[in-house]
């Protein structure tokens, strides 16, 4: 506090290492700081955050319930709530990592955003990239880890699966719901999407009462459907 930090409640903070703070830092309740932690000027830490062996740049906000471990975070970034930054994560100035986004061993360029429900692992992300909700870099094939490169200005639509190793070109657009297994060229729209069909004869299953359900189960056991 003498170094310039404001604590929402000095009785509810847990410091387990060498913590350095610059002026006008704010730390909310139930924050845990482990190892060597550096908080630059005007950093704001929300409640229930865990930070270990990390540096956080000036004017960055870490919102509630975020977990930061061995990360290097630049100025004017926004993290959380409920974000997880795993070891060897680097965020450049103005990057946004939002709710339920996990980043591991990746570098996120200036002004780039992954705001919702995504996983970015073993990736090199350029500047001003938008990573849509539910996007995953599929970096593990069951035996080895592989890299993903997303160049400056790319737009990744929601629900995209980027199967590494793969490169998404500068200013490329990836259509929502696509599974990308080959490099996407600069400045083009790339998507994978089967034709949409409607089955006119289909009916939503009706909830069976207990007697009907028991009879249906008995029938299925006696004459199992051909699953082929």
* 215 domain-assigned: no
**23 falls within a domain:** yes
As for how many domains the chain has, the answer is 1
CA distance 70 to 86: 7
- Could you give the angle at the alpha carbon of 144 between the alpha carbons of 143 and 150, nearest 5°? 140
Return the structure tokens found at 113: 């955003």
Which residues, in sequence order, are CB contacts of 121 under 8 Å at separation 6+? 102, 103, 104, 105, 106, 137, 139, 140, 145
DSSP class of 94: T
Residue 140 lies in a domain: yes
Does a structural domain hold residue 219?
no
CB atoms within 10 A of CB 204: 5
Bridge partners, 163 (sequence order): 138
- Report strand pairing: 71-73 vs 55-56: parallel
The answer to whether 84 and 70 are in contact (CB under 8 A) is: no
Asked whether residue 224 is assigned to any structural domain, the reply reads no
Domain, as residue range, for 178? 5-196
Query: Is residue 17 domain-resident?
Result: yes
Task: In whole angstroms, give the CA distance from residue 114 to residue 100.
Answer: 10
Instruction: Say if 223 falls within a structural domain.
Output: no
Per-residue pLDDT of the chain (228 residues; tens, 9 = 90+): 888 899 999 999 999 999 999 999 999 999 999 999 999 999 999 999 999 999 999 999 999 999 999 999 999 999 999 999 999 999 999 999 999 999 999 999 999 999 999 999 999 999 999 999 999 999 999 999 999 999 999 999 999 999 999 999 999 999 999 999 999 999 999 999 888 888 899 888 888 899 988 988 888 887 655 444
Question: Strand, helix or coil at 211?
Answer: helix
Catalytic residue positions? 116
Residue 201 lies in a domain: no
Report the distance separating Cα 224 and Cα 228, nearest Å.
12
* DSSP 3-state percent helix, strand, coil across the chain (nearest 5): 5, 40, 55
| CATH number, position 141 | 2.160.10.10
């Amino acid at each position: 506090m003498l170094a310039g930090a404001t604590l929402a409640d000095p009785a509810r903070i847990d410091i387990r290492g060498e913590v350095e703070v610059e002026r006008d830092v704010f730390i909310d309740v139930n924050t845990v700081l482990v190892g060597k932690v550096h908080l630059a000027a005007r950093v704001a830490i929300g409640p229930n955050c865990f930070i270990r062996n990390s540096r956080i740049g000036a004017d960055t906000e870490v919102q509630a319930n975020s977990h930061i471990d061995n990360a290097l975070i630049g100025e004017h970034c926004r993290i959380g709530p409920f974000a997880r930054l795993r070891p060897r994560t680097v965020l450049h100035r103005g990057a946004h990592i939002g709710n339920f986004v996990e980043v591991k061993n990746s570098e996120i360029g200036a002004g780039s955003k992954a705001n919702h429900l995504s996983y970015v692992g073993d990736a090199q992300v350029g500047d001003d990239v938008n990573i849509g909700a539910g996007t995953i870099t599929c970096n593990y094939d069951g035996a080895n880890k592989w890299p993903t490169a997303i160049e400056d200005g790319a737009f990744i639509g929601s629900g995209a699966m980027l199967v590494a190793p793969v490169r998404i070109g500068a200013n490329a657009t990836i259509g929502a719901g696509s599974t990308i297994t080959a490099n996407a060229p600069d400045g083009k729209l790339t998507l994978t999407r089967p034709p949409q069909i409607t089955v006119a004869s289909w009916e939503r299953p009706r909830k069976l009462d207990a007697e009907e359900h028991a009879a249906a189960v008995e029938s299925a056991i006696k004459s199992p459907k051909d699953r082929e």
